[in-house]
Amino acid sequence: MTRTTTGAVTERFVLHRDPHPLRVATFAEDVRAGLEARPYQLSPKYFYDDLGSALFEAITRLPEYYLTRVERDLLATYGREIVGAFGEPIAIVELGSGSAAKTRLVLDAALERQRTLVYRPVDISADALIESSLALTAAYPALRVEAYAGDYFPMLRARRLASTDRVLALFLGSNVGNFEPPDARELLTLLASSLRPGDGLLIGYDLKKDRSILELAYDDPTGVTAAFNKNVLARMNRELGADFDLDAFRFRANWDDAGGAVRSYLVAERAQRVRIPLAEVKVDFSRGDAIHTESSYKFSRDEIVALASRSGYTERVTYTDAGGRYALSLLIVA
């Protein structure tokens, strides 16, 4: 089945592909910029090719990675109350929908209150979007999916998500934690400008806690998170003709208390030269050189409410689990 940039995949599922899809050139440009920078860095968005998305699904099943389970329990407990806060039929927008597994709890709650529902997921991985949207439209006859494959920022700047519906936007999974604070603020502000006063944003975020719990969640003894990180080296080998030796790099994740984030790295185990022809870059790593692959910021409720008010929202309610590990805040566009 050929897919057009914007086109109906099925009768109730339309896929809009970002006019500037994530081209290899973009990947190559970002790799070149990141490996010519000091310290070396790569964007976590490049984790999510097919294998990366599957490895992330595996991470969400790890006993150490509590985020997904705790968030799912909060959605199961408070989903009805959250959609009930809007009193009228809603449409649902979601940033970073991934497999949309948790989203079903919100869709269920909404479809208990209204006959039909429009769901607008946005994700960097078109394949993940197509897979989840086909599964959702098969499972929910009253659901219509308008999916957007691409990067959040150009999508929001192009106001592709603006609509006349009462909208509940979802930003779950502590995905907000992947953005540097100024970028998180810009993203929430952009999203607010695509919504109308009175629309909602349900944001899920991981709370600050003991270093040992956080470092275990991001460096599990099974090695799944290490594989998730090393996959980006393998991806450069696959897509950019690089010659990374994955065994010559070690994964490391540390809690940075001052910065408020878990920082993930791939560390060179020995001095080595790596060539990445399609990015026109070669790197001479010294032993111990680190490539920063991801920051996962952790928050307090007050920090999220402060970020929200600076981005155009007021806090309606916040739910946390009994263990105080994770939170869901329902924000309203001011």
The residue from 41, 103, 225, 231 that contacts ligand AVJ (CB under 6 A) is 225
In the complex, the smallest distance separating the C-beta of residue 311 from ligand AVJ, rounded to whole angstroms, is 19
SS3 state at 7 = strand
**Which residues have C-beta within 8 Å of that of residue 286, sequence separation ≥ 6?**
268, 271
Neighbouring CB atoms inside 10 A of 222's CB total 12
Q: Which is nearer to ligand AVJ, 85 or 213 (CB)?
A: 213
Residue closer to ligand AVJ by CB (options 296, 311) is 296
Alpha helices (H) in 61-125, listed in sequence order? 67-84, 103-111
Rule CB under 6 A: say whether 178 interacts with ligand AVJ: yes
Asked if 219 interacts with ligand AVJ (CB under 6 A), we say: no
Contacts of 16 by beta carbon, 8 Å cutoff, 6+ apart: 5, 6, 146, 147, 148, 149, 160
**Can residue 296 be called a binding residue for ligand AVJ (CB under 6 A)?**
yes
Alpha helix positions (H), 143-253: 152-157, 181-194, 211-218, 224-240
- Taking CA atoms, 190 is separated from 80, 160, 233, 299, in Å, by 27, 11, 32, 21
Contacts of 63-69 with CB under 8 Å at 24 or more apart are 64/216, 64/217, 64/220, 64/221, 65/217, 65/220, 65/225, 66/217, 66/325, 66/326, 67/173, 67/174, 67/206, 67/217, 67/326, 68/102, 68/173
Whole-number Å distance between alpha carbons of 298 and 296: 7
Q: How far apart are the first and last CA of the chain?
A: 43
Task: State which residue, 285 or 326, has the beta carbon closest to ligand AVJ.
Answer: 326
Using the minimum distance from each CB to ligand AVJ, give the nearer residue, 161 or 224.
224
Between residues 200 and 204, which has the closer beta carbon with respect to ligand AVJ?
204
| Cβ atoms within 10 Å, residue 134 | 14
Among 41, 53, 132, 174, binds ligand AVJ (CB under 6 A): 174
Identify any residues that bridge with 117 across adjacent strands, giving them in sequence order: 143
Residue 52 within binding range of ligand AVJ, rule CB under 6 A = no
The answer to whether 59 contacts ligand AVJ (rule: CB under 6 A) is yes
Q: Which is nearer to ligand AVJ, 132 or 137 (CB)?
A: 132
53 binds ligand AVJ (CB under 6 A): no
173 binds ligand AVJ (CB under 6 A): yes
Binding flag, residue 103, ligand AVJ (CB under 6 A): no
Quote the least distance from Cβ 124 to ligand AVJ, whole Å. 11
The Cα–Cα gap between 223 and 247 comes to 13
Specify the DSSP class assigned to residue 115. Answer: S
Residue 328 binds ligand AVJ (CB under 6 A): no
Q: Which of 53, 97, 132, 175 binds ligand AVJ (CB under 6 A)?
A: 175
Residue 252 beta carbon to ligand AVJ: minimum distance, rounded to whole angstroms: 12
Binding residues for ligand AVJ, total number by CB under 6 A: 11
- 218 is a site residue for ligand AVJ (CB under 6 A): yes
- Minimum CB distance to ligand AVJ smaller for 132 or for 178: 178
Strands 290-297 and 261-268: antiparallel
Smallest separation, CB 319 to ligand AVJ (Å) = 18
* Least spacing, CB of residue 295 vs ligand AVJ, in Å: 8
Asked if 311 touches ligand AVJ (CB under 6 A), the answer is no
Binding site for ligand AVJ (CB under 6 A): 59, 67, 173-175, 177-178, 218, 225, 294, 296
